C-alpha cells in the first residue's frame, strides 16, 4: 500500500463528500421536499466509488456498484433520520443538518471503499468478499470508517488512520467466502 495512493484516495473522498454536502445544502435550502437530494447523492457516491477504484487500478472490479450500494444502504437510516430534522420550519437548520449528514455518510462510504481497496491490493481479501459481504462485515468496516474519521477530526493523519484500520481488519480474522 502506497502512502501517496492512500493520500490521493483520501483527498478524492473528501472532495466528493464536500460536493455531496454542498449539493444537499443547496437543494434543501430551496426545495423543502424530503429526500430531494437522493438522486444527486447517489450519483456522487457512484462517481466517487469509480474514481477511488481508478486510483487503486481496480476499475474493472466487478460488482463495485452493488457493493457500494450495500454500504450506502447500511448507512441510509441515518440519512432518513436527518430528514425529520430537515422539516424544521427554519430552512437553514434543515439544510445544514442534511449537508452535515450527507458529508459524513459519503465520507464513511469513501473510507470503507479505501479500506477495501487497500485490503484487495494486499491480497488480504478476495474480490468475492465484496460480492458476499455480510451485515456483520459491513458493521466492522463502518466501525473502522468511524475510527478513521475520529482520528482525522483529532488532526491525525488520514493516511496513517487508514493503515491502522487495515491492520485492525487483519486482526479481526474475518472469514472471507470465496
Q: Would you write out the chain's pLDDT as a tens digit for each of its 178 residues?
A: 578 889 999 899 989 888 888 877 777 766 666 665 667 777 888 899 999 999 999 988 888 888 888 777 766 655 555 555 555 555 556 667 777 777 888 888 899 999 999 999 888 888 888 888 888 888 888 888 888 888 888 777 778 888 888 888 888 755 554 4
pLDDT score of 132: 86
H-type alpha helices, the chain: 3-30, 38-55, 64-86, 91-121, 128-131, 135-153, 158-172
CA atoms within 13 A on the CB side of 72: 20
Give pLDDT, residue 106.
Answer: 86
CA 154 to chain centre: 19
User: Residue 177: its pLDDT value, please?
Assistant: 46
Q: Which three cell numbers stand for residue 112?
A: 470503507
The pLDDT, as a whole number, for residue 62 is: 81
Residue 69: name the closest of 17, 109, 119 by CA: 109
Q: What is the pLDDT of residues 89-115, one digit of tens each?
A: 555 566 677 777 778 888 888 999 999
Is residue 118 within 8 A of residue 170, CB to CB? The reply is no
Amino acid at each position: 500500500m502506497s502512502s501517496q495512493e492512500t493520500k490521493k484516495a483520501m483527498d478524492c473522498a473528501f472532495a466528493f463528500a464536500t460536493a455531496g454536502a454542498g449539493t444537499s445544502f443547496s437543494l434543501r435550502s430551496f426545495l423543502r421536499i424530503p429526500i430531494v437530494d437522493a438522486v444527486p447523492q447517489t450519483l456522487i457516491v457512484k462517481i466517487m466509488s469509480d474514481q477511488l477504484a481508478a486510483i487503486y487500478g481496480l476499475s474493472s472490479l466487478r460488482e463495485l456498484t452493488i457493493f457500494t450500494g450495500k454500504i450506502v444502504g447500511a448507512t441510509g437510516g441515518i440519512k432518513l433520520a436527518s430528514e425529520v430534522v430537515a422539516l424544521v420550519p427554519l430552512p437553514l437548520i434543515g439544510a445544514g443538518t442534511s449537508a452535515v449528514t450527507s458529508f459524513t455518510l459519503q465520507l464513511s462510504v469513501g473510507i470503507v471503499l479505501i479500506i477495501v481497496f487497500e485490503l484487495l491490493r494486499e491480497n488480504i481479501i478476495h474480490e468475492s468478499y465484496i460480492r458476499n459481504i455480510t451485515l456483520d462485515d459491513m458493521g466492522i468496516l463502518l466501525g473502522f470508517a468511524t475510527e478513521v474519521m475520529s482520528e482525522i477530526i483529532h488532526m491525525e493523519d488520514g493516511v496513517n488512520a487508514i493503515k491502522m484500520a487495515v491492520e485492525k481488519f487483519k486482526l479481526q480474522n474475518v472469514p472471507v467466502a470465496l
